[in-house]
């Protein structure tokens, strides 16, 4: 078995893992990031880059280069339910250099972060490397074992950061327990060609609910369904599903025939949970590994990046020196980030619950969330919601200079 040693091993090359690895290397900390795939090209990953994340990239001095990548911009969130349009969040007054959500393929975002990280000599990204087992010695996590194309690998580290997503191997092996909330929906992702003259609302409610994301040459579409209802839709048949989509987005009615079979549709089984304890000696979980989020608002990526920044702000100076982060040091990260997670999950699961169908025959126009009525009556509140969605409960900032 090949063995590597490093100060910090980050498991997972998603937004949380790549940002943590990049910022640690920027401080001169030796870090190895393990990514189980050979590249970042996966369909139907979240592709929202919120104003708070754009602000972090601006603080690092890379915003012009980042925004030169193909993307679209959303200055507000307007939803249409039963033909009634309501602006739910307005980002125009945010105290940020980029007051909008940027829609950018996540693989482009991750490639950008990986490219910047590669400029630091203390950074290494090992692709096609799947972490399989924690190394535990004297009650403390001392690294991970992994499989690679070249055989087994052991990475010894003073700190392991688990950023391996909502199906985290590390958090299960560490015995970290989660508190689960009842998710309001599952999501069926698919794509259809886009035309320049298309008029498709970002969110359309009616017989179900449909989110449309402009990806340039095509629409990335998310059809929300009651939890566990996918088999019922499949039994009804693809023709009935096409009718549902056309009913919500008439502009796409001439293209729904391109949905020929269920292999074109990717199901996301939504889970919302939160670890009671994000850490044990030598191991810290962040991002979806610590708190799986609903896709509502696209805020999961934002929270994952904020977790990474807080982690490096608090632990980077320790790792840059000769000490090893104590369990109390790891607890400080959870203490800083947990309130933001709790508030955001309560918003996703509770306040927005009526936005989604209760059963497959449900018309969501019949149970508009009360908060939408308030926003229609008091339009200035949309700026407060813009701050909540765009910046988060506790936005983080880059605190330490690079080497």
Query: What confidence category does residue 275 fall into, taking pLDDT thresholds of 50, 70 and 90?
Result: very high
* 235 assigned to some structural domain: yes
Per DSSP, 350 falls in state: I
In a shared domain, residues 144 and 163: yes
Which of 82 and 166 is assigned the larger pLDDT? 166
Give the torsion sign (CA, 333, 335, 336, 342). positive
pLDDT of residue 206: 72
Query: What confidence category does residue 17 fall into, taking pLDDT thresholds of 50, 70 and 90?
Result: very high
Which of the residue ranges 218-227, 304-313, 353-362 has the most confident prediction, judged by mean pLDDT? 304-313
In a shared domain, residues 114 and 260: no
Among the listed ranges 3-7, 42-46, 334-338, which one has the minimum average pLDDT value?
A: 42-46
Query: What confidence category does residue 214 fall into, taking pLDDT thresholds of 50, 70 and 90?
Result: confident
In a shared domain, residues 120 and 26: yes
Last residue of a domain, one of 238, 270, 302: 270
In a shared domain, residues 162 and 251: no
Which of 200 and 36 is assigned the larger pLDDT? 36
pLDDT of residue 46: 67
pLDDT of residue 372: 72
Last residue of a domain, one of 270, 292, 324: 270
Q: What percent of the chain has pLDDT over 90?
A: 63
pLDDT at 367 over 70: no
Euclidean distance between CA atoms 154 and 152, whole angstroms: 7
In a shared domain, residues 135 and 2: yes
pLDDT at 44 over 60: no
pLDDT of residue 10: 98
* 93 assigned to some structural domain: no
Average pLDDT over residues 118-123: 97
* 147 assigned to some structural domain: yes
pLDDT at 28 over 90: yes
In a shared domain, residues 144 and 253: no
pLDDT at 261 over 70: yes
Average pLDDT over residues 392-396: 94
pLDDT at 13 over 60: yes
In a shared domain, residues 291 and 326: yes
Whichever domain contains 142, its CATH number is 3.50.50.60
Last residue of a domain, one of 314, 331, 355: 355
Average pLDDT over residues 171-194: 87
Report how many helices (DSSP H) and strands (DSSP E) the chain contains, helices first: 11, 20
* 282 assigned to some structural domain: yes
HEC string for 251-301: HHCCCHHHCCCHHHCEEECCCEEEECCCEECCEEECHHHCCCCCCHHHHHH
Maximum alpha-carbon separation in the chain: 65
* 139 assigned to some structural domain: yes
Query: Domain total for the chain?
Result: 2
pLDDT of residue 196: 86
pLDDT at 336 over 80: yes
In a shared domain, residues 112 and 36: yes
Residue 22 backbone phi and psi in degrees, to 5 = -60, -50
Question: How does the average pLDDT of the chain come out, rounded?
Answer: 90
In a shared domain, residues 245 and 127: no
pLDDT at 321 over 90: yes
In a shared domain, residues 29 and 142: yes
- For the stretch 49-93, pLDDT in tens is 999 999 999 999 999 999 999 998 999 988 776 667 778 889 999
In a shared domain, residues 163 and 197: no
Domain extent, residue 278, equals: 1-47+106-180+273-355
Residue 89, strand partner residues: 77
pLDDT at 177 over 60: yes
pLDDT of residue 43: 59
* 398 assigned to some structural domain: no
Residue 134, strand partner residues: 144
pLDDT of residue 184: 67
HEC string for 148-197: ECCEEEEEEEEEEEECCCCCCHHHHHCCCCEEEECCCCEEEEEEEECCCC
* 66 assigned to some structural domain: no
In a shared domain, residues 134 and 28: yes
pLDDT at 313 over 90: yes
Average pLDDT over residues 214-230: 85
Euclidean distance between CA atoms 110 and 108, whole angstroms: 5
Q: Are β-strands 123-126 and 2-11 bridged in parallel, bridged antiparallel, or unpaired? A: unpaired
pLDDT of residue 353: 67
Euclidean distance between CA atoms 332 and 181, whole angstroms: 24
Query: What confidence category does residue 98 fall into, taking pLDDT thresholds of 50, 70 and 90?
Result: very high
């Amino acid at each position: 078995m090949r063995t590597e040693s490093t100060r910090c091993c980050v498991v997972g090359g998603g937004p949380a893992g790549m940002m943590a690895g990049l910022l640690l290397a920027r401080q001169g900390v030796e870090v190895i990031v393990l990514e189980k795939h050979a590249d970042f090209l996966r369909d139907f990953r979240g592709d929202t880059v919120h104003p708070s994340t754009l602000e972090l990239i601006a603080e690092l001095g890379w915003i012009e280069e980042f925004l030169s990548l193909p993307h679209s911009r959303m200055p507000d969130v307007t939803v249409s339910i039963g033909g009634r349009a309501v602006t739910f969040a307005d980002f125009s007054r945010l105290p940020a250099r980029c007051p909008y959500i940027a829609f950018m393929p996540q693989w482009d975002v991750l490639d950008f972060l990986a490219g910047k990280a590669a400029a630091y000599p203390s950074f290494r990204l090992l692709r096609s490397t799947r972490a399989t087992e924690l190394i535990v010695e004297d009650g403390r996590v001392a690294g991970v074992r992994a499989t690679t194309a070249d055989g087994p690998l052991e990475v010894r580290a003073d700190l392991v950061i688990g950023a391996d997503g909502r199906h985290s191997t590390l958090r299960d092996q560490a015995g970290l327990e989660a508190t689960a909330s009842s998710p309001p929906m599952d999501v069926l992702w698919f794509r259809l060609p886009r035309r320049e003259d298309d008029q498709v609302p970002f969110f359309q409610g009616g017989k179900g609910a449909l989110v449309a994301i402009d990806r340039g040459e095509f629409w990335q579409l998310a059809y929300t369904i009651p939890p566990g209802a996918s088999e019922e839709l499949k039994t009804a048949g693809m023709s009935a599903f096409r009718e549902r989509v056309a009913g919500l987005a008439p502009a796409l009615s001439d293209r729904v025939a391109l949905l020929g079979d269920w292999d074109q549709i990717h199901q996301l089984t939504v889970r919302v949970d939160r670890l009671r304890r994000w850490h044990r000696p030598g191991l810290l979980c962040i991002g979806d590994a610590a708190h799986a989020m609903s896709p509502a608002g696209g805020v999961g990526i934002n929270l994952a990046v904020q977790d990474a920044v807080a982690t490096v702000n608090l632990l980077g100076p320790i790792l840059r020196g000769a000490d090893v982060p104590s369990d109390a040091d790891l607890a400080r990260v959870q203490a800083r980030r947990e309130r933001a997670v709790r508030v955001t999950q309560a918003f996703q699961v509770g306040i927005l619950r009526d936005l989604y169908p209760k059963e497959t025959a449900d018309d969501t126009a019949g149970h508009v969330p009360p908060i939408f009525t308030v926003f229609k009556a008091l339009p200035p509140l949309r700026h407060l919601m813009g701050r909540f969605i765009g910046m988060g409960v506790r936005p983080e900032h880059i605190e330490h200079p690079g080497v």
